[in-house]
Amino acid sequence: MIRYLSLEHRFVRNVPRELEPGILYISMDYATAVHSCCCGCGERVVTPFTPTDWRMTFDGESISLHPSVGNWNQNCRSHYIVQRGRVVEAGPWSQARVEAERLRDKMAKAAHYGSETKVRSDVLQLSSERNPSTTPPTSSIWARLKSWLGL
């Protein structure tokens, strides 16, 4: 459940150690936004701005973050969208969906930063661990990925 339904933005050079709930701290110098989890658990949520992570939009009045914020490593597992300063609760994700998104993220980073070979070997290993008899070793990376995702 989301406790803070809006985030007031503050542009800062350095993010303070103690985060004020309901405040989205944005450091353009470090290309990062940081806030206290909107569920109220108090966990620090860091959203780096990179080509493969989050994008921040400032329309002159409010901030939006894309994609959604999923706190899958926290106990609360909260999931929400920050759109024009408002916090919109998003639905929970299964562990399989979280793992699939982590793999997609890893592949996007590898493609962007040029280490796709390492990720392909990781995908092959994950695929064979998950479905040893259903994924032939000669299938394409995309076929193995689809099989691993259960598509």
The residues facing 81 across adjacent strands are: 88
Residue 110 pLDDT? 85
Contact indicator for 39, 76 with CB cutoff of 8 Å: yes
- Residue whose C-alpha is closest to residue 100's, from 46, 151, 37: 151
Encode pLDDT of 37-83 as tens digits.
999 999 999 999 999 999 999 999 999 999 999 999 999 999 999 99
Could you tell me the two tokens for 119? 């990720």
- Check pLDDT > 80 for residue 34: yes
Encode pLDDT of 78-116 as tens digits.
999 999 999 999 989 999 999 999 898 888 888 888 865
Answer with the residue of higher pLDDT: 148 or 38: 38
- Residue whose C-alpha is closest to residue 39's, from 66, 72, 5: 5
- Check pLDDT > 80 for residue 16: yes
Residue 136 pLDDT? 44
At 76, is the secondary structure helix, strand, or coil? coil
